[in-house]
Every structure is written in structure tokens, then in C-alpha cells.
Amino acid sequence: MSVTVTKHAIKRYRERTFDFSASDQEIVKKLGEIAKTGKIVCGKPNNKDNCTEIKHYGISVVAVRDGARLTVITCLGDATYRKWVKSKGGRTFISQRSIYDDTYAGCL
């Protein structure tokens, strides 16, 4: 299975884990590993019913499956960050345009 990571997912990983020192390639590798070996937590609503939240190492990502290809479209952060966001009244929303965004940062 090939895993692709978007630039948006890298940006969100940095913002939500406060890891500003890691290179893009290190983040692509980590997000790819989370997507490949993580546990599916729940489905996310979209029009093709192929979007899922995957969690591993305490970090959650949202990925879209298209055949044998898995695309990580965003990083939701760890449990502490998500709890903080929920306490502030924020909510997770997956835009449909993210599914078809072709600005990929890297593939595994």
C-alpha cells in the first residue's frame, strides 16, 4: 500500500504537536507510519465514504483510501491538543476539497 502525505498534513502536524524542528521528510515518514500501522478509530463523513481517522502513538490523522493508495490529508494532533480544542468550542471538519488536493509533499 502506498501512502501519500499532503503539505497541509505536514503543516497541521507541526502546529498541533509543536514539533517545529523536524524536517518535512521526517514528518512524512512519521505520518505515513501512523497511517499504515495505526488503528482506525472512526469514519469521517464525506461523499465517497472512504475517509477515516487513524490513531497511533497517541497521534490522530485523517486519511482517504482510494484503492491501494492511502492519502493523509490532515493531522488532528494528540489527545491533549484535541481536548484543549474541544474545550475552546472548536470542532473537526474535513473539507471535500482536501480529498482531491494534488499538492502532495511526499510518498512512501
Alpha helices in the chain (DSSP H): 7-17, 24-37, 79-87, 96-99
* The total number of residues written for the chain in this structure: 108
Measured CA to CA, the distance from residue 103 to residue 83 in angstroms comes to: 30
Model confidence pLDDT, tens digit, residues 73-87: 988 888 777 667 667
Torsion of the alpha carbons at 90, 58, 62 and 26, rounded to the nearest 10? 120
Q: Is the entire prediction scored with pTM above 0.95?
A: no
Evaluate whether 31 touches 107 at the Cβ level (below 8 Å): no
What integer pLDDT is reported at residue 94 of this predicted model?
54
Model confidence pLDDT, tens digit, residues 27-57: 999 999 999 999 888 777 665 677 888 999 8
Percent of the chain surpassing pLDDT 90: 23
Measured CA to CA, the distance from residue 79 to residue 95 in angstroms comes to: 22
